[in-house]
Structure 1
């Protein structure tokens, strides 16, 4: 297998053997896969390519090999990386970790790849980081086949009632319920859900979106906590929370 100049992003990297790197990569046409960059750390003092082997940089990667792990043969920039600092950097790390945890290897998602590039750009520019994250999460769920409607009861098929309360069911999506009936099962206001369905994340709807998406994603992430979320909380003395 030989692939040339594939639009890609690096999600994560780690040292391998004495001087190489293992790269976890998200490609437009090949999905998530692992590449080994041989001698990358040995070339770090004088080589220019290693400086590109970082998350969030749009890249064109060439690689080859017959085994599960391919060998990186060429890298060049395909654009300018967004300037992510502070909360925006942690949010980018969070998105990368979601992809690492939820994407199957060698499963192409060209629309999700485009959504990812859009999300990175929005993290660099948008005033509302949370809105960017919620949009990406919803798009990710849709791409993976886990999407659900914010405007319709997934069990009855009826429209969400502004006066109603709803629970999330992994099998159906949002279903009618009663607020406070079960403390272990969060309830969400129909009025706020309808705002979210219209892309309106102001006021209390922002908090509802965060709580809802955390509950939904936990169904698919399993019991292991997200490292980026723990890191964000450990570095956020103001107590802000967007993930």
Structure 2
């Protein structure tokens, strides 16, 4: 068995004295693991850093085996990413979200989103917006997508400013007014792809996606919010305040 594809490095762990097990995200084969022989060498260590683009060739005798990777550098972003707290915590969080999905399941939408975010970590507001869109996409890919197209109570499609914590559906200002203290705020940019985020909306967005990630994903699996998530939120808040 063999395939070759562009991949984004998510992480790695030691394997034996000189090798590593690399975890990458590909567009058509999803999140994939493989052994890189000599992955701890001076030549390969800079290549196998989270956030880098590589051309990965995977080989195994059988498809269900772990297999081995041969990698060639395509775009080395890691050095730049490590200079920014937003980028450093951000790539860790994105990798944690992708690990919620089954290995080797293709998720081309998430691959494209990951690549886009990696190229915008130097813009804190844009990075925050894209990470939140990514979290909403992860919920959708897991089967828990938010329904933000119309009001859950009136079917109206305008003035949607809340999300019901029970149904995950949008609620209009008028319909949600009696229960506004119980509602989750809906940033406009999460409802409309053409709208760009405002700084004040980023915290509301993380509150919204975090609520449903906890309810549908982390709690049922007996896991907790990744430590990189509050670290990223704090780094974004500091960058936006500056």
**Could you state the TM-score of these two structures normalised by the residue count of structure 1?**
0.77
Structure 2 equivalent of residue 14 of structure 1: 13
The alignment's C-alpha RMSD in Å is: 3.0
Aligned partner of 1:197 in structure 2 is 191
Selected match of 2:65 from 68, 89, 92: 68
What is the aligned partner in structure 2 of residue 167 from structure 1? 164
Task: State the alpha-carbon separation in 2 of the partners of residues 3 and 195 from structure 1.
Answer: 38
Tell me what 1:183 maps to: none
Cα distance change, pair 143–241 in 1 and its aligned pair in 2 (3 A) = farther
Partner deviation per Cα, 1:37-91 (whole Å, 9 max, x = no partner): 12322xx24xx2332111111111001112431211x211223426222222211
Deviation at 1:172, TM superposition (A): 5.0
Unaligned runs of 5+ in 1: 181-185
Structure 2 unaligned spans of 5+: none
- Residue 120 of structure 1 corresponds to which residue in structure 2? 118
Aligned residues: 224
Structure ranking higher in helix proportion: 2
Query: How far off its partner does 1:241 sit?
Result: 8.9
2:225 aligned partner: 225
Counterpart position of 2:133: 135
- Provide TM-score, normalisation by structure 2: 0.77
Contact map agreement 1:32 1:106 (CA 8 A) in 2: yes
Superposition deviation, residue 9 in structure 1: 1.1
Cα distance in 2 for partners of 1:141, 1:174 equals 15
Residues 162 and 194 in structure 1, CA contact (< 8 A), matched pair in contact too = no
Counterpart Cα distance in 2 of 1:126 and 1:163 = 26
| Cα distance, 1:240 vs structure 2 | 3.9
